[in-house]
Amino acid sequence: MTAPVGHPLQLDEEPMNDADRILDFRDELDRDARAHAAAPTMSTASDSSGSVGVAFDSDARVLSVVVRDGWLATHAPSELGPVIVDLVVQLAAERARQWGETVAEDETARVATPLPPQSESPGALLQSALVDAGDSLDVAAMLGRMMTMLEEVNAGMDSAMQIVTTRLSTSHVATSAGGHARATVDGSGAVTALQLDEPWLRAESPADITREINQAIAIAAAAGAAPTNPFVGTPLERYGALLDDPSALSRIFLGKD
């Protein structure tokens, strides 16, 4: 099947509708990124005695714990792990509150990313490529590639979010080199459980306790570190890039990419 001479194949608006959906999706991500950037770089939380604290550096994406002199006067060894986890939860809640306020403020001034001018849109560039292809165009093959792309984009919206959510919720466990601290960290870097050797806690210095706890957390966090671009490894990785290179759409449909 080829295009009739002098009558290039006409495209409907479905590809552009999908591009518009991806742009809306990207706008939401940009908004969230702005809110994240506006949040304090360093956030901290401490127990009432000030002898146990946690800090999160959003630039380095590192969570750290500090155990100070006198902690045993306030907490039993069996309580230290749960106290630290509770502080992490408090810290996350406060950062979420700050993030929500920033998003709400940003929403009032939100400007959607405009679609490119029609002459520079993926659809227009594809139409031009079809004209150039002329009689050599295999319409059946091109339509097959078009339908594949549309199906993958439509299906990818949900599956991409599922992949991102799974990454964030997956737990990773690691033990310090000394074997006295065992940390469980989720994909966001939050400590969800911390098991500590109680006899060791009673005998060890706060500095060494701090070091082993942070070592276990760092190893677990590294195992679960999400990619900087959240859509790497998802169905949207390829097609989202088309928005920055509209001519790529014609290369895909014509089987050149």
Report, in angstroms and rounded to the nearest whole number, the Rg of the chain calculated over CA atoms. Answer: 26
pLDDT of residue 62: 76
What does each C-alpha distance from 97 to 19, 36, 53, 104 come to in angstroms? 32, 11, 20, 11
Structure pTM?
0.61
- pLDDT tens, N- to C-terminus, the chain (257 residues): 444 444 444 544 454 455 555 556 556 656 555 555 555 567 899 999 999 999 988 765 678 999 999 999 999 999 999 999 999 999 988 877 877 776 666 555 555 545 445 445 555 656 666 666 666 667 777 778 778 877 877 888 888 888 888 888 889 999 999 999 999 998 877 899 999 999 999 999 999 999 999 999 999 988 877 666 667 778 777 766 665 666 666 777 777 76
* Closest-CA residue to 69 (of 214, 191, 194, 208): 208
Q: Where are the domains of the chain?
A: 14-253
In terms of Cα–Cα distance, which of 233, 77, 53, 80 is closest to 159? 233
Backbone angles phi, psi at 203, to 5 degrees: -100, -15
